[in-house]
C-alpha cells in the first residue's frame, strides 16, 4: 500500500509573506506526522522563497518518519544535503520565475550533471530520487545513472484540459510505472494531486509513496492540518 509524504513548503510560504516566525513548518511537520503521514517533504529553493536553511536543519533533528529534501542539482544544494543527510533527496529542475516545479528533470539534457550529483550524494550516504516526466526514455536514463528512485510527475494528468488528454497522460504514467518497476527503481509519484485526482491512483500498486503539498495545505487552512492529512490518508489507504 502506498504511503503519503506531505510537502509543508506552503506553511513556510505563509510565514515568509510577513517575514516573521509564524507559522513554523517545523510545528506543521510534527502535526502531519502525528496525523499518520509517512514522511515530510521540503523544497529548499535557491531563492529561499519559502523553506529556509534553518527549517531543514531543525527538521533533520525533529522528523521521526522520513525527511525528503527536494532540491536542484547545484553545488550549493549538494553541499547542504551531504551535510544534513536527509533520508532521501529528490532532484528537481528549478527556475527562478516559476510558481512551482513545472516539469520533470530532463535527463536527456542534463544527464552528466545529474549523474555526478547522484554519485556525490550517494557517496555521502544519501539515496537519490529523480523527478521525471512519465516518459520511458527519462526512466531508462534515471536507471542508467543509478538513481535509487524516480518520482513520476503527475501534474500533466491532474491539469489535463480534456478527458482525452487526461487518458493519454494516465496511460503514460501507467507505462512509466511498469518500466520503473521492471528496472527495480523505487517509485514515488506527485505534483498537482488533490482529493479527487488521488482516487485514480489508488489501485496502482507500483507506487511506493505519494508526495502531496498544495491540496493538503490548502484544505488545512479550512479544516485544520490534522484533518486534512487524515482525509488524504483515508483516500490512499482506506477501503
Q: What track of x and - describes contact with ligand PXP for positions 60 through 99 (by CB under 6 A)?
A: ----------x-------------------x-x-------
Q: Which of 70, 94, 151, 206 is catalytic?
A: 70
Based on the residue annotation, tell me whether 70 is a catalytic residue of this protein.
yes
Shortest distance in whole angstroms from residue 155 CB to ligand PXP: 7
Rounded to whole angstroms, the Cα distance separating 166 from 56 reads 36
CB 207 within 8 A of CB 201: yes
Angle at 81 between CA 92 and CA 108, to 5 degrees: 30
Based on the residue annotation, tell me whether 43 is a catalytic residue of this protein.
yes
211 in contact with ligand PXP (CB under 6 A)? yes
Shortest distance in whole angstroms from residue 217 CB to ligand PXP: 8
- In the three-class reduction of DSSP (H, G, I as helix; E, B as strand; rest coil), residue 190 is classed as strand
Q: Which of 7, 115, 138, 197 binds ligand PXP (CB under 6 A)?
A: 7
CB 165 within 8 A of CB 155: no
Residues 6+ apart with CB under 8 A from 44: 51, 52, 53, 56, 69, 70, 71, 77, 80
Backbone phi, psi, residue 208, to 5°: -80, -40
Q: What track of x and - describes contact with ligand PXP for positions 114 through 153 (by CB under 6 A)?
A: -----------------x-------------------x--
Residues at the contact surface with ligand PXP, assessed by CB under 6 A: 7, 9, 43, 70, 90, 92, 100-101, 131, 151, 190-193, 211-215
Amino acid at each position: 500500500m502506498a504511503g503519503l509524504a506531505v510537502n509543508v513548503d506552503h506553511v513556510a510560504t505563509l510565514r515568509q509573506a510577513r517575514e516573521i516566525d509564524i507559522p513554523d513548518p517545523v510545528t506543521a511537520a510534527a502535526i502531519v506526522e502525528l496525523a499518520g503521514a509517512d514522511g515530510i517533504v521540503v523544497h529548499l529553493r535557491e531563492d529561499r522563497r519559502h523553506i529556509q536553511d534553518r527549517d531543514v536543519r531543525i527538521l533533520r533533528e525533529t522528523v521521526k518518519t522520513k525527511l525528503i529534501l527536494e532540491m536542484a542539482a547545484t553545488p550549493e544544494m549538494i553541499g547542504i544535503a551531504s551535510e544534513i543527510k536527509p533520508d532521501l533527496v529528490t532532484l528537481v529542475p528549478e527556475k527562478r520565475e516559476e510558481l512551482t516545479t513545472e516539469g520533470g528533470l530532463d535527463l536527456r539534457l542534463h544527464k552528466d550533471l545529474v549523474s555526478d550529483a547522484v554519485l556525490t550524494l550517494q557517496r555521502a550516504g544519501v539515496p537519490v530520487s529523480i523527478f521525471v516526466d512519465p516518459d520511458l526514455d527519462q526512466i531508462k536514463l534515471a536507471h542508467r545513472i543509478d538513481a535509487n528512485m524516480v518520482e513520476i510527475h503527475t501534474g500533466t494528468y491532474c491539469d489535463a484540459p480534456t478527458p482525452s488528454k487526461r487518458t493519454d497522460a494516465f496511460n503514460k504514467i501507467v507505462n512509466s510505472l511498469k518500466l520503473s518497476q521492471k528496472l527495480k527503481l523505487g517509485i514515488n509519484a506527485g505534483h498537482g494531486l488533490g482529493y479527487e485526482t488521488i482516487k485514480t491512483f489508488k489501485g496502482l500498486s507500483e507506487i511506493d509513496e505519494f508526495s502531496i503539498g498544495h491540496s493538503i495545505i490548502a484544505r488545512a487552512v479550512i479544516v485544520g492540518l490534522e484533518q486534512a492529512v487524515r482525509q488524504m490518508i483515508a483516500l490512499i489507504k482506506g477501503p
